[in-house]
Structure formats: C-alpha cells, structure tokens
Structure 1
Amino acid sequence: MSKDQVRKLSWKEIFKLSKTSLMEFFNADNFMHGAALAYYAIFALVPIVYLAITIFGSVVGEEVILEIIQDVLQQNIGITDVSGIMAFVAELNISQGNIILKVVGIVVLLFSSTALLNALKNSINNFFGITPKKNKNFVLETLISRAISIGILSLFGVCLIVTYFTQTIIFSLTDQFIASGSGVRSTFYLIVEHGSLIAVNVILFAFIFKYLHDGTVKWKLAWGGSLFTSILLYLGHLLIKFYLVNYFFAANVGFAGTLMVILTWMFYSSQIIFLGAKFTAVYAKMVGRPIVAK
C-alpha cells in the first residue's frame, strides 16, 4: 500500500470504529466546547449576515441573499417566525452603502469569525487529540488562521448561492417535463433539496477537517469524516428542528426567542460536529494514519 492510500475497513472494524468514537466522544468536554461555540456564533451572526448581504448581494442581488438567509433560518434551523430578525437586518441600512459601517463591519467580522472559528479550531484540536506546537512566528500564524477562517466562511456562502441557483434551474427544467401536482415531481424536489444540503455540508466539513486545526490529515480521511458528519448532521437537524418547532419553550418569543433558538440549534449541532471530528480521529488511527501536530 502506497503512502497516500488509506485501507478499507471490514464491517467488524467499522463497528469497533463507531463504538470507540462514541466512547471517546462522551469522555471529552463536548458540552463545554459546544457552549463556547454557540456563544461565539451569536456574536458572529450580525456581522456575517451584514457582510454576506453587502458583498454577495452586490454580485447576485440583495433580494436573493435575503431569501437565502430567510430559507436557512426557517428550513434548516427551524425558526418559525423570522420577521423579527429579518426586520433587524433591514434596519442595518444595507442599501445605503454606508462606507464607515462597511469598514466597521469588516473589522468586526474579522474578529468575530476568527473568534468563532478559532473556538471551533480549538475544539477540533481537542477531539483530534492534538497539542499544537508553539510557533515562533505568531503574527504569520495569526494571519494564516484568519485567512483560513474567512476562506471557509466565503466557501460556505458561495456553496449556498450556487445551491440556490442550481436548484432554481433544476426545478424550472423539471416543471417543463413533469406534470404539475405529480407525486414524482414532489419526490424529486425533496431529493434535490435535501441532497444538495448534504452535498454542501460534505464540502464544507472536508475543508474544516483538512485545514481548521493544527494537525495533518489526509484528504481521503477528511472526506470520509466529512461524509459521516454530514449524514449524521442531516439526520440530527431533522430531530433538532422538530424539537425547536414543536417543543422549545422560547420558539415564539420574538427576536429574543430567535436568538435562543439559534443558540440551542448551534449547541446541539456542535455536538454532532464534534462526534464527526472524533470519528475522523479514530478512523485515522485505525487505518494507520494517525493525526499528528504539524
């Protein structure tokens, strides 16, 4: 077997991999890391939304970006009433193109996204079992870390926009060939919608497991961990969304309730992401390619 190859696991090894991943995950400080990530996500929310509309909106139109944001909040997170948060976004006076606000927004975004993704990076290091080596060139390391953070956020935004337009094109073509009201059309719509969501997550987590930590991971291991995490996250989000929509106590308490929903959604989602990170680390050990610090 060559250096870059990763051997396949038997069914017995896959069972052992799943069992070991769960045991090591529950022995880690997963709740503490999840709380930190949810906390930073709230502070990163406004600047990320603002700059997403400002930057991507100038390319594809503000209305498109607002529609994507609303769809993510309703369909993915499970916020039933998005009027409060959308009204808050509208109050940012995005269309006026305030240069000072844009500059401040960029600075805040750099800080917030770095804080958010730095928290995620530290958590992944923990679940990968990595102790970062001390780097003498702190400034360069910080700049690289910020560049990776902005790159991953940009990748996520681009993936959402590409998915939006791809779905629009596919649905338009489908309308021409499949009769209206057909069960086939509805089924096809669901497959495309949910399949594209998993595909976006697979791409995003592959880059996170490859770059957003202080270790060295083979691409095949990153893709394997990403696929596992994305499928698990998709199934988990169905349950989380059902709980938030039907049973969460603060679901219908205006803007404050929306923030509580986002906090809760982020906390539970982070647990699945951390389990995926632990799965990737255990997987790497089992195939003889353990994740080591750079």
Structure 2
Amino acid sequence: MPRRVVGAVRNLYGLLKDTVSAWIDDYAPSMGAAIAYYTVFSVAPLLLIVISVAGVVFGADAARGAIVAELQGFFGTEGAKAIEDMLAAVSEPATSTLTALAGLVTLLIGATTVFAELQSALDRIWRVPERQKTSGLWGLLRARVLSFGMILGIGFLLIVSLLASAALAALSRGWAPLFGEEEAVAHAVDFVFSLAVITTGFAMIYKIMPRARVRWPDVWLGALVTALLFTFGKFLIGLYIGKTGVASGYGAAGSLVVLLVWVYYSAQIFLLGAEFTWLYAHRYGSLRGQQPAERTVAVKPGRYVEPQELRGRPEEQGRHQGP
C-alpha cells in the first residue's frame, strides 16, 4: 500500500478518534438532552412556519403533505402522529386579534428556541469566550432574529427540495431505459439529492450559528459526514425504537417518547459532526496552526467562565498554593 494512502488513513483515524474524545469532553450527551427537550416544544411552531414559507409556492396542503410524508420516513407512524397532533393544535384559528397577536409571538419564540440552544452548544464546541457573547436584551433579540433567518433558510431548502424532487422524478423516467428499472434509478437520484440538501442545511447551521469566525471551506466536509451519519443513522434509530418497544410502556405518551428519543440520538449525531468540523478547521482548514482555545469551565449550573478567569479567583489560587 502506498505510503501516502497509509498516511491518509492514519490521519483520518486520528481525526475520528479525537472527534469522539472531544465529543465526550464537551459533555455532548447532556447538551443533546437539552436540545431534545427544547426541540419537542419547538418542532410544531417551527414546522408551521416552514410550511407557511413553502406554502407560498406550492400551497399549504401540498407543503404539509410533503413534510408529513418525510416525517413518517424519519420518525415512523407514532412519531409523525405526535407531530401532526402538535401541528393541529398550533394551527387552530384565533378567536380575536389579541389572541392572534399573542399566538404569533408565542409561535416565533417557540420556533426559535431550539436554534438558540443549538447556538449555545456550538459556542461551547468552538470555545467561544464569554466576553465575545452578546448578553442582555440585544443579545436575545439578535439570537432570535438569527434563528428566524435559519428557519426561513430551511423553508427555502424545502421549496428547492420539492421542486427538484418533482423534476428528478420526471427525468428518472427518461433515464430508466438506460440504467434499468425506473424505481431503482428514482431511488438513487432521490438519495443523492436528499443527501445534498441535508448537507447544505447542516453546513448553514455550522457556518452561521456559532459566534465564532467560521469559513465555508471548514464546514462542508463536516456537514457531509454529519449528513451521511444522519441518513444512515435514522434507520438504526428506527430499528432500535421498533425492536425495543420503547413507546409501549408509556401509554398515551408513547408517541411523544418516540419523538424525544429520536431527536436525542439525532442531536448526538449533530454534535459529533460539529466536533469533527471544529477539529478539521484547526488541523486542515482556515485555523490550521492556531492553538485551540481552552474549554470553558462550569462554575455553577448555566454559568461558564474561561479557564484563565477561574485561575484568577482567590479560591482557585489557594487550591494550588496548598497549606
């Protein structure tokens, strides 16, 4: 085997090994639990806004039908039913102008909450110092506006996906005589295109959401790795949920439990891809040669400080000085 190939394999193994180590050191399972919790409350208003954006082009019914079909492929029948019930609840018409206004504000806050949590997780992964984070009312508004922009971007990706899926379905019928069965060609084309759309979505989040200087070349490989893990991982997650009967012991709440479990494991894939992107940027990307910042340290729940700030505290100095 050529020496160059051996070196590439060794570098890839080291990158993947260090990615898993960083994922563990950053307490990704805990961050994933927080993301899953907020997602359960955000998924219905988030999808409602996305459907509204896509409905401008295709109509609300067509957009809703396409999303529900995708949800059934991701979550299975029980998880998709839970989301449909949430959508039905938030879609009920308001009885007054004041109620409609309050509902709109609640809708926007609910839809953007999960993106705010994603930003917090990505900031921790990218070692963003506390002093660089905008706090107060302005910081909150900025985070919500950015999150809403991401929602509009997802809606745009859905429009592109629906348009391209219709076009590719028509083209695959023409390609079928050249490659064999029409169904096999359609599935192959749909897989490649879906992978491209998912990769683009992850790249947008990895590039835009962290409050750090991230360049586009740094995120594409990590986004592709995440999209591949996500695409194949959803089958494993579905197999796990189906074989273990995780929802059977929760009665009426079983559908919600399925959704929560699915989102939790998907969040782990997302965070693993974010760690991969951070490491790739420092080893082979725009941050190559730069010493990564030290990880922020938790001094109490919800409060993180930089290591140098912690070292400057009297109790920390006394701890190192000894008796």
C-alpha displacement of 1:58? 4.0
Q: How many pairs are equivalent?
A: 283
Kept in 2, the 8 Å contact 1:167–1:193? The answer is yes
- Structure 2: tracts of 5 or more residues without a match: 1-6, 295-323
Q: Deviations over 1:5-52 (max 9, x none)?
A: xxxx93322221111111221232111111100110011122223333
The residue that corresponds to 1:5 in the other structure is none
Match of 1:236, as an amino acid?
G
Q: CA deviation at 1:222?
A: 1.4
Asked whether the 8 Å contact 2:250–2:257 carries over to 1, the reply is no
* 1:169 and 2:164 correspond: no
Does 1:286 pair with 2:295? Answer: no
Match of 1:6 in 2: none
CA contact (8 A) 1:79 1:251 kept: no
Q: How many Å apart are 1:186 and its aligned residue?
A: 1.7
- Give the fraction of aligned pairs with identical amino acids, expressed as a percent: 26
Tell me which amino acid in the other structure corresponds to 2:101.
Answer: V
Does residue 1:199 correspond to 2:232, yes or no? no
Closer, same or farther in 2 for the Cα pair 1:71/1:132, shift >3 Å? Answer: farther
What residue number does 1:147 align with?
A: 145
**Pairwise CA RMSD of aligned residues?**
3.0
Match of 1:159 in 2: 157
CA distance in 2, matches of 1:92, 1:214: 32
Equivalent residue runs for 1:13-32 within 5 Å = 13-32=11-30
Residues 98 and 189 of structure 1, relative CA distance in 2, 3 Å threshold: farther
- Give the letter for the 1:195 counterpart: V
Please say if 1:247 is aligned against 2:244: yes
> How far apart are 1:221 and its partner, in Å?
0.6
Larger Rg: 2
1:178 to 1:159, Cα distance in 2 relative to 1, 3 A: same
TM-superposed CA distance for 1:83, in Å, is 4.7
Out of 61, 64, 74, the position equivalent to 2:62 is 64
Alpha-carbon distance in structure 2 between the residues aligned to 1:115 and 1:125: 15
The residue identity in structure 1 corresponding to 2:126 is: F
CA distance in 2, matches of 1:29, 1:100: 42
User: SS state of the match for residue 79, structure 1?
Assistant: helix
Distance 1:251 1:174, change over 3 A: farther
Alpha-carbon distance in structure 2 between the residues aligned to 1:235 and 1:97: 44
Moved more, 58-67 or 274-283: 58-67
CA–CA distance in 1 between the matches of 2:271 and 2:14? 18
Residues in 1 aligned to 2:185 and 2:35: alpha-carbon distance in whole angstroms: 35
Deviation at 1:176, TM superposition (A): 5.0
Q: Deviations over 1:183-202 (max 9, x none)?
A: 62122222222222221221
Contact 2:49/2:151 (CA < 8 Å) preserved in 1? no
Q: Distance in 1 between matches of 2:115 and 2:94?
A: 30
- Hey, what's the Cα distance between the residues in 2 that align with 1:194 and 1:255? 34
Displacement after TM superposition at 1:271 (Å): 0.6
- 1:36-47 map, 5 Å: 36-47=34-45
* 2:48 corresponds to: 50
Shift of 1:248: 3.3
Residue-by-residue CA offset, 1:128-153 (whole Å, 9 max, x unaligned): 23323245774443333222211111
Cα distance, 1:272 vs structure 2: 0.8
Cα 1:270–1:166 shift into 2, 3 Å: same
The more displaced of 160-169 and 269-278 is: 160-169
Question: Residue 93 and residue 109 in structure 1: after superposition, are their counterparts in 2 closer, same or farther (change >3 A)?
Answer: closer
When residues 22 and 169 of structure 1 are mapped into structure 2, their CA distance, relative to the original with a 3 A threshold, is same
Q: Name the aligned partner's letter for residue 50 of structure 2.
A: A
The question of 1:122 aligning with 2:137 is answered no
SS at match of 1:109: helix
1:184 is aligned to 2:187: no
Considering Cα pairs closer than 8 Å and 6+ residues apart, tell me whether 1 or 2 has the greater RCO.
1
Asked whether the equivalents of residues 25 and 274 of structure 1 are also in contact (C-alpha less than 8 Å), the reply is yes
The worse-fitting range, judged by mean Cα deviation, of 31-40 and 13-22 is 13-22
Q: Letter of the aligned partner of 1:156 in structure 2?
A: I
SS of equivalent residue, structure 1 residue 78: helix
Q: Secondary structure at the match of 1:160?
A: helix
Greater shift, 161-170 or 9-18, is seen at: 9-18
